Amino acid sequence: MTIARKPSLGATVGRGMAAGLAGTVVMTAFQKLVEMPLTGRGDSYAPADLAEKLLPLPEKRGGERNVRNYVTHFALGAGWGVARGFVGRAGLSGQPAVAAVFGIMYPGDIAIVAGLGLDRPTSGRLVTGPSTAWTSSSSRWLPAWPTSA
């Protein structure tokens, strides 16, 4: 009988980072090539905004801001990948692993973004319905934050 050994801590982190970066490449390509052309949504600078709020960095414009945006975007993706690596190292796989990573990472992301005041849409007209608020864009597909009356 062969007993499966857990990968080393370094291997777990390295493979998780690689997987997170690969996933971020795929998701970013889909956004740029499919979702944004269909919805008419422009580039998001939320990652750069986050970096500028968390770190003592001066606000940048133009090409420097694009670089900061992508570096932060891919660093966040790598972080999600590392979390997935540790969940796998703990023995979870498949949908339970996905649910565990989501449960670990997403609440923290939301808390940080809300705590820093980065949780409000920067543009769009609010259209209210019976139970949902939607941002009015060319496609009206993007959910928006409800406003208080």
Q: Is the dihedral of CA 87, 89, 90, 93 positive or negative?
A: positive
> Phi and psi dihedrals of 136, rounded to 5?
-85, 110
Closest CA to 122 of 66, 60, 46, 59: 46
Average pLDDT along the chain: 82
HSE at residue 133, side-chain half, CA atoms within 13 A, is 10
In the chain, where are the structural domains located? 9-118, 123-149
DSSP 8-state assignment for residue 117 = T
pLDDT digits (tens, 9 = 90+) for 60-115: 888 899 999 999 999 999 999 999 999 999 999 999 999 999 999 999 988 988 88
Helix (H, G, I), strand (E, B) or coil at 4: coil
User: Position of tokens 């493979």?
Assistant: 15
Residues contacting 120, CB < 8 A, separation 6+: 145
- pLDDT-based confidence at residue 118 (cuts at 50, 70, 90): confident
Residues contacting 107, CB < 8 A, separation 6+: none
Identify each DSSP E strand in 48-137 by its residue range.
125-128, 133-136
